[in-house]
Amino acid sequence: MSKFKKKDDGGTPAISTASLPDIVFMLLFFFMVVTVMRDTSLKVQNILPFADQVEKLDKKNLIMYIYAGKPSPRYQETFGTEARIQLNDKYASVNDVQQFIKEERLSKREELQDKLTTALKVDKETNMGLVSDIKQELRKAEALKINYTTKEGAAELNLE
Amino acid sequence: MAKRSAPEVNAGSMADIAFLLLIFFLVTTTIETDSGITRKLPPIDDSEEEPPILKERNIFIVLVNSSGDLFVEDEKMEFRDLRQAAIDFLDNGGGTGDEACDYCQGAKDPKSSDNPVKAVISLQNDRKTQYGRYIAVQNELVAAYNELRDREANRLYNMDFTEMEATFNDPEFLGDKDKLKERISVIKEMYPQKLSEAEPKK
């Protein structure tokens, strides 16, 4: 009997998977952090009209959103049913649009400031008077590139 | 008392749990892109200069009134006829001499537009017009322009104009961008989108 027993070298040792959860969690956290949830909560009814001659709006950081429509049901008691403008998270009046555009411009890098597009997300039941007022304010603020955001579908669907 | 060591928790299934979460987030994350009709507003003109006077026959007036009815050149029109009416107007090519249009296929009616380059569509609305209807009409007018541009692009370059624009905007497109840009601008010059959105009447 030898004192030093030879270890039996049967097969390769199993690879430790103990660090695998760490790696996966890292991936998970990465995706959780990078995923941007909708940053504005809508306070207005926002059923977009349909159109089929549309262009895609890429480059999300170059878009300013202006919402308009009737206040959502839970705000109707305090704000009535008259269509309103929503900028960021607050109701706003037409006069605030210019200031909003200025602030949005300043928050972007200088070389991108004249490439901004304004996306008008307007409920299809809104009167054109309000939309025209917004358009007029945008002209005054020299934000001339606009996009009427729509859902994709035949235009006839709007007539019902 | 005998000292008992705590049994080790098996962490082998932890990876599975984490993967499950990861896949859940990957699947539910939708990067939605908005799409819509892109337009350019006219800058505010402060100058006292009189705008150039357009000939009556070169203006195509489309009016959507407060109850949503559509009037084209003061006559009531059904919505589904609008696109063809706009195409007929733009593609008329009734001009002679300098104003002749050699690629138009329209009726050459002397009462309608001289040349697509001169033709202006004026879209008017009432303050009470519904936005949905306005967009529907706007969509049809853009469709009329796109249809004509597609036709010319197919004739000259065997490609749809809308497809050309889409390829041009595609960052992964590796072909000849300058050539494509030139072609796009040629088509745009043939049928410039002169769509004026007048301020609404009270």
- The pLDDT of residue A79 is 84
pLDDT surpasses 60 at A1: no
Confidence of residue A53 (pLDDT cuts 50, 70, 90): confident
In which band, very low, low, confident or very high, does the pLDDT at B38 lie, cut at 50, 70 and 90?
confident
Which chain A residue lies closest to B197 (C-alpha atoms)? A132
Of the residues B28, B135, B191, B197, the best mutation for testing chain A's interface (the one with the most A CB atoms within 10 Å of its CB) is B135
Number of H helices, E strands in chain A: 4, 7
Annotated domain spans of chain A = 50-153
Mean pLDDT of A24-49: 78
> Is the model more confident about A51 or about B102?
A51
Give pLDDT, residue A37: 62
Residue of A48, A150, A151, A152 best to disrupt the B interface, most CBs of B under 10 A: A150
Residue B158 one-letter amino acid = N
In this model, does residue A12 exceed pLDDT 70? yes
The reply to whether residue A49 touches residue B132, judged by beta carbons under 8 angstroms, is yes
- Which residue from B151, B156, B147, B153 is spatially nearest to B167, judged by alpha carbons? B153
Better-predicted residue by pLDDT, B81 or B200: B81
- Structure tokens, A24: 């996966």
Residue A88's pLDDT is 81
Give CA–CA dist A109/B118, Å, rounded.
39
Q: With beta carbons under 8 A apart, name residues in chain B contacting A25.
A: 18
- Range of lowest pLDDT (A84-93, B14-23, B60-69, B131-140): B14-23
Q: Using the beta-carbon criterion (under 8 Å), do B38 and A155 form an inter-chain contact?
A: no
Measured between alpha carbons, how far is A28 from B75 in angstroms, rounded to an integer? Answer: 62
Q: Does domain A50-153 have CATH number 3.30.420.270?
A: yes
The pLDDT value recorded for residue B1 is 56
Q: Which residues of B touch A40 (CB under 8 A)?
A: none
How many residues does the structure list for chain A? 160
Q: What is the ipTM of this complex?
A: 0.73
Mean pLDDT of chain B: 81
Name the pairing type of β-strands B35-40 and A55-56.
antiparallel
pLDDT of residue A51: 87
What are the tens digits of pLDDT across the range B145-182?
A: 888 888 888 888 888 888 888 888 777 777 778 888 88
Query: Are residues A144 and A117 in contact, defined by beta-carbon separation less than 8 angstroms?
Result: no
User: How far off is chain B from A98, nearest CA to CA, in Å?
Assistant: 14
Q: Could you read off the pLDDT of B178-202 as tens digits, one per residue?
A: 888 888 888 888 888 888 877 665 4
Q: Distance, in angstroms, between B178 CA and closest chain A CA?
A: 21
pLDDT at B89 over 80: yes
> Please, what sign has the CA dihedral across residues B90, B93, B95, B98?
positive
Q: Is the pLDDT of residue B101 over 80?
A: no
Interface test with A, best of B137, B139, B164 (most A CBs within 10 A): B139
What does the pLDDT read at residue B200?
63
Cα–Cα separations (whole angstroms), residue B147 to B103, B105, B109, B160, B166: 14, 13, 20, 9, 15
